[in-house]
Structure 1
Amino acid sequence: MNSVKIQIGPRSYQIACDPTDEDKVRKFGTLIDENYQKLGTARAAQEADNLVFAALFMADELDEARQGLSGARTELAQANAELSRAKDDITNATRKAKADVEQDIEKASKGKAELHAEIETLRKAEEHSRKEVTKLKEEVSSLKEEARHQHDLFGSEEDTAAHSKALAEKLEALAKRAEATASELEGQAKAS
């Protein structure tokens, strides 16, 4: 055991303590002396009475500190409860957002599949239209060729030429409509 000397008011005291507690004892001695000095000129004749008053000052400060600590603990408990609620709110909001995103992704996937199916349908329609156009062009060409030779069977070359020309114009108009339909389908397929 070591001995530490502390000064409280006009008297000094030797306090026996563990070597590791020397600084703490000095600090407490200084604190007691500060409270003793608060008595000022109102000191009692007996030193014991003065020390009791100094201890009462310290007890008052300790009580205030304990009340402050109790209030701080209450505030901390409230803050922890609010933090817990906020965490729950964030967790729920995150779950809802995740579910919404998953629904949006599912809708987008369905929409994408539908668009791919529609594009494939339009491609097939375009291919079919091109084949029809090619077939119609071949028929027009064949009809033109036949028309050139019909004048031998049906009369003069002028009559046959006029009839062939009218027929060829109708067939050309039909071919143009088929090409326009194919181009329109192709434009729709590219836009999708």
Structure 2
Amino acid sequence: MSSLNLSVGGRRYKVHCADGEEAHVTKMAGIVDARLTKLGATQPQNEAKNLLFAALVLADELHEANLSIPGSSKKPEGYAEKLARLQEEVRQEKKAREKLEKKLEDAETGSETLTFGVAANRALSEQERKLADQLETLAADLEQTAERLETNKTAVAS
């Protein structure tokens, strides 16, 4: 920690600052002193008022300088509310998109299941038709066999 003796508004002040900051603090004190001199505020009986006035003028100049910088951090009125509203809209849109993606995925899965089900039904229908044909052939063969047996039975009985 360093100790400095500064002169501001015709008065000496002893201040402490971090090591390495001495030049910067001295420069800032010089700016305040110059502003006090420019304002003509060097009357000792109004020292506190003079320093306050100089600080307000410097703060106002700094504020104006920051506003004039392109891309400065000055945010328009209602910025926080608008930002919060837009962030909420983004969250809602994400939720809606996720729901739609889930519905699409479910529909695609359902479509695959439906396609498989239709194909399976077609395969079963084809198998059923073949089985029905085979059953008809077997029934016809069975009738012929029954007729032959009847014929043979009649021939043996006579």
Tell me if 1:79 matches 2:41.
no
Per-residue deviation, residues 134-186 of structure 1 (Å, max 9, x unmatched) = x88xx9xxxxxxxxxxxxxxxxxxxxxxxxxxxxxxxxxxxxxxxxxxxxxxx
Identity of aligned residues (%): 10
Q: Report the alpha carbon displacement of residue 129 of structure 1 after superposing the two structures with TM.
A: 4.8
Query: Which has the bigger relative contact order, CA under 8 A and spacing at least 6?
Result: 1
Question: Which structure 2 segments of 5+ residues have no match?
Answer: 67-71, 141-158
Aligned residue number for residue 126 of structure 1: 126
* Kept in 1: contact 2:6–2:15 (CA 8 A): no
Aligned residue number for residue 105 of structure 2: 105
Q: Report the alpha carbon displacement of residue 98 of structure 1 after superposing the two structures with TM.
A: 1.6
Aligned residue number for residue 184 of structure 1: none
RMSD: 4.7
SS at match of 1:17: strand
Which of 14, 17, 22 is the equivalent residue of 1:16? 14
Instruction: Give TM-score scaled by structure 1 length.
Output: 0.44
Aligned residue number for residue 56 of structure 2: 59
Q: 1:94 to 1:29 in 2, by over 3 A?
A: closer
Q: What are the within-5 Å matches in structure 2 for residues 1-192 of structure 1?
A: 2=3, 4-6=5-7, 14-18=12-16, 20=18, 23=22, 26-35=26-35, 38=38, 48=43, 55=51, 56-63=53-60, 65=62, 75=75, 78-129=78-129, 132=133
* Kept in 2: contact 1:2–1:19 (CA 8 A): yes
Provide the C-alpha distance between the structure 2 equivalents of 1:122 and 1:2, rounded to a whole number of angstroms: 96
Q: Report the alpha carbon displacement of residue 104 of structure 1 after superposing the two structures with TM.
A: 2.2
Provide the C-alpha distance between the structure 2 equivalents of 1:115 and 1:97, rounded to a whole number of angstroms: 26
Count of aligned pairs between the two proteins: 125
Question: Which amino acid is 2:5 matched to?
Answer: V
Question: Which amino acid is 2:31 matched to?
Answer: L
Q: 1:32 to 1:104 in 2, by over 3 A?
A: closer
Per-residue deviation, residues 39-86 of structure 1 (Å, max 9, x unmatched) = 7xxx79xx638x97x8545532334556899xx998377322222112
Question: Which structure 1 segments of 5+ residues have no match?
Answer: 140-192
Q: 1:48 to 1:105 in 2, by over 3 A?
A: same
Q: 1:63 to 1:129 in 2, by over 3 A?
A: same
SS at match of 1:75: coil
* Kept in 1: contact 2:3–2:17 (CA 8 A): yes
**Structure showing greater Rg:** 1
